[in-house]
Structure 1
Amino acid sequence: MSKVSNLTVKGQVTIPKDVRDALGLKPNEPVEIDWRGGDEAVIRKPKLDREAEVQRLIAEMRAASDRFAHLRENRSTDEIMQDIRGDDPFLS
């Protein structure tokens, strides 16, 4: 199957809908472009590195957990607010 699409002044190309549908491409998802040399390139849906994605999500969750660790110390809200505000009587 051969399709023709125009290149915009910004260097963008619209991938025809039937091709997007066949490849399972969705808006704002990456596409992989493989230059084959000469005047040939292949556009494909990239294979996701699921393990890398899982590790990235785990790191994000750990960072969020660390940011809120003070909430797991069974302290009252007043004690936590005192720590945040410090000893300034005008902030109490």
Structure 2
Amino acid sequence: MRVNRRGQITIPVDLRKKYGITEGDEVDVIEVGGTLTIVHRESGETRGQRLVRRMRGAASTTMSTDELMRLLRGDDWGSGIVT
């Protein structure tokens, strides 16, 4: 593993999966007995909560909630709702 000019490293995908580290998670680098150790910081958020936080505000539409629900459920097909 190489450290880039900004001091960053890439944690291999198999280790990220094994330890449940996903994009946006925070880790600490600590020194233990002369060795650097990467520790997954527990944020208290679940994976779903992190996803919702990252996605919040990402969508844009002028449709109301009721219009979206009709569209998703297939109700009123051809009723003039424009997507």
Q: How does the TM-score come out when normalised to structure 1?
A: 0.43
More helix by share: 1
Q: How does the TM-score come out when normalised to structure 2?
A: 0.47
Q: Which has the higher contact order (CA 8 A, sep 6+)?
A: 2
Question: Greater CA radius of gyration, 1 or 2?
Answer: 1
